[in-house]
Structure 1
């Protein structure tokens, strides 16, 4: 959604460098969703200075309005901004790979031994640290997001609504209202007048057409394949997961009931116990919870099934967000569009803070003793905000403390 082109960011950054950066991010981003986005911001905005906070917040806003896993969609958006569509694909693949490898290993152990391989104590220590990481990222964005009392009010309202109401329709209403407020606040006589030549912006070319046909094929397979006599299990896996990835909004936890209906009830690929194991293991790997699709694919069709299921759950939404962002760039030269973005960024800031608070509330609700998670959260904030250490050190320290105190 930013008006800057991918070529502006590409100078001096190779695809190999991007792969390594995002592979590292994928290794340390426990908690998925906003936690992963927070680490992306730390690495890409602060450390490597490849894009700025405005781009991150625009990517979060667009990803929350589109179907599929929000965090991976934001990564694809960021990669596209830096090195175009290929950069988006490389970054998305790199950030998923660590979780993919871990999940394949977990699946093999589970299916061989029939036992869960879950580091419960380490995870209990990491969760408060994840809340600190999200909070730290949000606070660092405040200068770009909050420029006056109106911005603060938008952020507070967005955070409150997300915590108390939630849901995709709430998100849509928040963004729509924030955009209108932004336009009204910044309205001027020259609003809507282009400041750049329209010809410099992306058009709906052959690449966009190919992506559109691919996305339509995914939905078509999902809707009509059950009526056809297709026996290939790999085709069935791709159809089920790619279709679901484009038809559900709101992030990974919203997907769980639909995935259960498809893989347990409709197709009978997994028992309810195996499905529960896939979700639990998805929670203790870095990256998004939808990496559970890897477990399901492995259980159904081995390593090939794991690869197909993983590609199908993540690739179509990533392609969609790149397509959408490139078409929105056609409007990025308009003053009203920029004003709407400014309003939406304030709402995104509020939602980031709400994500940290929601995690803390969840931890408090499940804890029998609040002392340990409180100490880990406070220590993580100290390490991040005052010692200025990176997220990887914060996560490692929290995991060790979790093993010692839980």
Structure 2
């Protein structure tokens, strides 16, 4: 864990307040831009640390937004965790409540239907970009990580073709890791 100076923590909070308003599809949709800022731009984290936080949040029970305070904790301990969680949740929550109220009041209008129809493709694109961002460090040494690639393919196949609960796949992945297969 780094000791991020207060000015940098305030900068991170400001960035998250803005990103929160763009989190169509959930906080995970902000991961590519957060990666650009924290890893590529500021150099505060490396690819592996960032990807590990995202993967841990995906595997843990509860909302995927947990990756944001995990990153904040890596940067500034509990203060960083609380600041980043507030930054990612507060604006989007207020905006969602406002838009939800507007959408209910105007749900039968063409404008409201067009608004929601336009959000879906953007959310899908943001989530696909997040998936790529998480996968990239694991794919970097693909020749040395045949087990990892196989586990990714098997997981994807099972999720697309069956109704197996993801928890079983997470346990399979943990077992594969413990056995040195991934």
Q: What corresponds to 1:61 in structure 2?
A: 55
State which structure, 1 or 2, has the greater radius of gyration over its C-alpha atoms. Answer: 1
Task: Give runs of aligned pairs for residues 324-363 of structure 1, distance below 5 A.
Answer: 343=182
Of 154, 157, 161, the residue aligned with 1:160 is: 157
Task: Give runs of aligned pairs for residues 298-377 of structure 1, distance below 5 A.
Answer: 343=182
1:176 aligned onto 2:174? yes
Q: What corresponds to 1:144 in structure 2?
A: 137
RMSD: 2.9
Q: What corresponds to 2:86 in structure 1?
A: 93
- How far 1:26 moved relative to its partner? 0.4
Of 99, 105, 115, the residue aligned with 1:115 is: 105
Q: Deviations over 1:123-154 (max 9, x none)?
A: 32232233223333433454421222222112
- How far 1:173 moved relative to its partner? 1.9
Report the CA distance shift for 1:35/1:167 in structure 2 as closer, same or farther (over 3 A).
farther
SS in 2 for 1:23: helix
- Mapped to 2, the partners of 1:48 and 1:126 lie a distance apart of 30
Unaligned residue ranges in structure 1 (runs of 5+) = 186-342, 344-406
- Mapped to 2, the partners of 1:116 and 1:25 lie a distance apart of 26
8 Å CA contact 2:44, 2:75 repeated in 1: yes
8 Å CA contact 2:32, 2:133 repeated in 1: no
SS in 2 for 1:29: coil
Q: What corresponds to 1:358 in structure 2?
A: none
8 Å CA contact 2:68, 2:84 repeated in 1: yes
Report the CA distance shift for 1:170/1:41 in structure 2 as closer, same or farther (over 3 A).
farther
8 Å CA contact 2:73, 2:79 repeated in 1: yes
SS in 2 for 1:6: coil
Report the CA distance shift for 1:141/1:58 in structure 2 as closer, same or farther (over 3 A).
closer
- Mapped to 2, the partners of 1:127 and 1:36 lie a distance apart of 15
Q: Deviations over 1:162-198 (max 9, x none)?
A: 33335342243233133124xx35xxxxxxxxxxxxx
- Mapped to 2, the partners of 1:38 and 1:28 lie a distance apart of 12
Q: TM-score, normalised by structure 2?
A: 0.77
Q: What corresponds to 1:42 in structure 2?
A: 36
Task: Give runs of aligned pairs for residues 264-279 of structure 1, distance below 5 A.
Answer: none
Report the CA distance shift for 1:13/1:123 in structure 2 as closer, same or farther (over 3 A).
farther
Report the CA distance shift for 1:119/1:97 in structure 2 as closer, same or farther (over 3 A).
farther
- How far 1:66 moved relative to its partner? 2.8
Of 2, 10, 17, the residue aligned with 1:6 is: 2
Q: TM-score, normalised by structure 1?
A: 0.38
